[in-house]
Amino acid sequence: MKILVTGATGLVGTALVEALARDGHTVCRLMRPHGEKREPSAGFDVAWDPATGELGGAAVTPDAVVNLAGASIAGGRWTEKRKQVLRSSRVDTTRALVGAISKMATRPRVLLSASAVGYYGRRGDGIFTEESGAGNDFLANLAAEWEAEARKAEALGIRVVLLRFGIVLAKQGGVLPQVMLPFRFGVGGKLGSGQQWMSWITLADTIQIIQLALKNETVTGPLNVVAPQPVTNAEFTKSLAKAMHRPAIFPAPALALRLVLGQEMADALLLGSQRAVPQKLDQLGYRFLYSALPDALSALLQAR
């Protein structure tokens, strides 16, 4: 297949492009004119302007599009200006991408578009499947708007899959190296009460699930890209400390986190619960490489 990928230089995008190229697909990385310049390890780059939707000629007639674009949620304190960056990099970019697709003489068969389990909002111990409704906080509203723009491709006769990612765990980037840092110095611990739920997934499973969604034409709509065993923050902390052979005796008080990040950001990213489960993947019979957190962390930390 010929596959266009936005957000191709991020953690998931980089791994996905390499995996797709290994499988023999032709991969086009859609790159902003003034975006990050990085030598592609696989595939080739095609210029595109999210402001106008203009695509380079090599991007025509794709079989599939994977939209992973979006500024880092944890990349800065949530000022009004930062919130606008987060929204524009997701909602506006997806709108431009679907607009560009609509102008293609031969349109892709499928659009996979990133979203997040933040869609469900912060609702304590509730268990969320793909059929659960949206929450009503900043991240939930952002995800709902993001998904709504991607769904507009359905009117073009394109199969749309909304990838609701949990916390993607990888040794080479993302959340895990940041979380590991205090443990390396022996000052790690749970965040706040530690009772908030975390929906996680390894990078390896993430890539396999995206590949499954590309190939399996029965997969449509929202798809929870999470492992089948979500854990509380206290459980996550205990498992990470054990895997690293470090203590976990210095909890970070909720008040301190709110002072550093601001209440809204701290509550959304560190203190709020998202207990999502992969109902659709279970129905598809997907076999996880890592379904239990201790096994996943042990494998990740031993990997070179």
**Is residue 16 packed enough to be buried (19+ CB in 10 Å), middle (13-18) or exposed (0-12)?**
buried
What's the pLDDT score for residue 49?
85
In-domain check, residue 268: no
Q: List, for residues 92-150, the tens digit of each pLDDT value.
A: 999 999 999 999 989 999 999 999 999 999 888 999 999 999 999 999 999 999 999 99
In-domain check, residue 110: yes
- Across-strand partners of 195? none
In-domain check, residue 158: yes
Give the number of domains in the chain. Answer: 1
Rounded to the nearest integer, the mean pLDDT of the chain is 93
CATH label of the domain that carries residue 162? 3.40.50.720
In-domain check, residue 64: yes
What's the pLDDT score for residue 124?
86
Q: CB under 8 Å to 114, separation ≥6 — which residues?
A: 7, 12, 67, 68, 69, 70, 90, 146, 163, 165
* Whether pLDDT at 50 is above 90: no
* Whether pLDDT at 38 is above 90: no
In-domain check, residue 95: yes
In-domain check, residue 300: no
In-domain check, residue 183: no
In-domain check, residue 238: no
**Is residue 136 packed enough to be buried (19+ CB in 10 Å), middle (13-18) or exposed (0-12)?**
exposed
Q: List, for residues 245-302, the tens digit of each pLDDT value.
A: 999 888 999 999 998 899 999 998 899 999 999 999 999 999 999 999 999 999 999 8
* Whether pLDDT at 154 is above 60: yes
Which residue range(s) make up the domain with 26? 2-169+200-225+277-288
